[in-house]
Structure 1
Amino acid sequence: MTEPAKEWLAQALRRVEADPHAIHLLFPQAERLGGAGARSALLAALRGDYAVIRDLYERGDTGERLAILSALPELDLGAAAVGLVEDALRANDTRLVAAALGPYGSQWLDGHAFRQGVLKCVFMSIPLDSVSGLDRRFDAELARMLADYAAELRAAGRPVPRDVMERI
């Protein structure tokens, strides 16, 4: 990290600690001015203020939303941010869907939402190896859902993705 980036980040952290809403001005420019990891550091400075995090996510662009989803496991929010993960799973952006099924989503999504997220990964050609905790969360219902999908693909004369075949 360059010296100007370190200085920018230190100043930005002080501003967010003094006024959590200052993050709305700082977050969009954090990666450019504060370097890699600056957004995560700013989120951590919120000390679990979920209302600000949610607002930041809702107003954010894809890059900002990805930063928030990636930082969730470190923010000590418990299940509070499940709604953000569910929102990302409704997106048509493969990066958001994959991030939603990272460590936080894997830990906090209920079984139904997790299974639906895995199936969406298959539909969107997101490798199942990118789904955090898949082996731990894999159950008979998910196996059935994947097998049904594979049968539909075969009936349509379409190939079944290799990572689906490995799990059914």
Structure 2
Amino acid sequence: MTPDDLRAALDLGPQAEEWLSSARAQVADDPARLAVLFPAAGRKVGRGALDGLTGWTADDAARALLLDALPRPRAAAVSRAYTEGDNAEKRAVLRALPILGLGDEGLPLVRDALRTNDTRLVAAAMGPYAAAHLDDEGWRHGVLKCVFVGVPLAAVASLADRADAELARMLADFAKEREAAGRVVPDDVHLVLNLVDQEA
């Protein structure tokens, strides 16, 4: 995923396109403008789903492009956009992390999202950035959080690559607890157990 991919996926009318181009230029020139422009993105470009980018909406993409326009170093401004934003804005920040070149500086935002029970934030947190930067323990707990709150594991980036025996053990324990309590075990638990079993 690159900024060019996001730009290509956005099918904006002339007015929205002009707003986004102007907003990016303003943010590049004065990062403080992000506080005004970031919340406005949904009203200016819409909130519809983007073709070809699963889970992304137009406002997600526009906000990611605004963050990409920030001059470097940008970690503090990105963190502020997340902290001060509503949940839609937080989700956009999480989705944008892979294109922002922050190294590990975005991890506090991922960890914060994984402490919530908002399924949109949890799903966005477990995208490509988490797959590349979360340590094994943090990543496994992120997968478990997805199962707890009902986020489909299809939302977890690099699941097949990172699933391991320890994750399988954690999920097997979770399944036993659910069964003992007479509760349904999500199908995704068996998906991961089968995945790990096939690799063994």
Bin for the TM-score computed over the shorter chain: over 0.9
Report the Cα distance in structure 2 between the residues aligned to 1:13 and 1:72, rounded to whole angstroms.
17
Report the Cα distance in structure 1 between the residues aligned to 2:101 and 2:71, rounded to whole angstroms.
8
Equivalent in the alignment of 2:122: 97
Displacement, 1:140? 1.1
- TM-score, length-scaled by structure 1: 0.95
Displacement, 1:32? 1.7
1:13/1:41 contact within 8 Å kept: yes
Letter of the 2:104 counterpart:
A
Stretches of structure 1 lacking an aligned partner (at least 5 in a row): none
Alignment partner of 1:21 is 2:32 = yes
> Cα 1:127–1:34, aligned 2, differ >3 Å: closer, same or farther?
closer
Alignment partner of 1:62 is 2:73 = no
Equivalent in the alignment of 1:44: 68
Q: Which runs of 4+ in 1 moved over 4 A?
A: none
Equivalent in the alignment of 2:197: none
1:47/1:75 contact within 8 Å kept: no
User: Among 31, 35, 45, which residue is 2:42 paired with?
Assistant: 31
Secondary structure, aligned partner of 2:192: coil
2:31/2:71 contact within 8 Å kept: no
Alignment partner of 1:152 is 2:152 = no
Stretches of structure 2 lacking an aligned partner (at least 5 in a row): 1-11, 47-57, 194-200
Report Cα offsets for 1:14-65 as digits up to 9, x if no partner: 2111111111110000232145232121111014411011011100000101
Report the Cα distance in structure 2 between the residues aligned to 1:120 and 1:13, rounded to whole angstroms.
35
Q: How many residues are treated as equivalent by the alignment?
A: 168
Aligned residues with identical type, % of pairs: 52
User: Among 112, 117, 124, which residue is 1:87 paired with?
Assistant: 112
Letter of the 2:24 counterpart:
L
Displacement, 1:159? 2.1
Structure 1 vs Structure 2 CA RMSD: 1.2
Report Cα offsets for 1:100-132 as digits up to 9, x if no partner: 101111111111111111111111111112111
Alignment partner of 1:133 is 2:158 = yes
Equivalent in the alignment of 2:191: 166
Report the Cα distance in structure 1 between the residues aligned to 2:192 and 2:161, rounded to whole angstroms.
13
Report the Cα distance in structure 2 between the residues aligned to 1:84 and 1:18, rounded to whole angstroms.
25
Report the Cα distance in structure 2 between the residues aligned to 1:12 and 1:136, rounded to whole angstroms.
38
Secondary structure, aligned partner of 1:52: helix
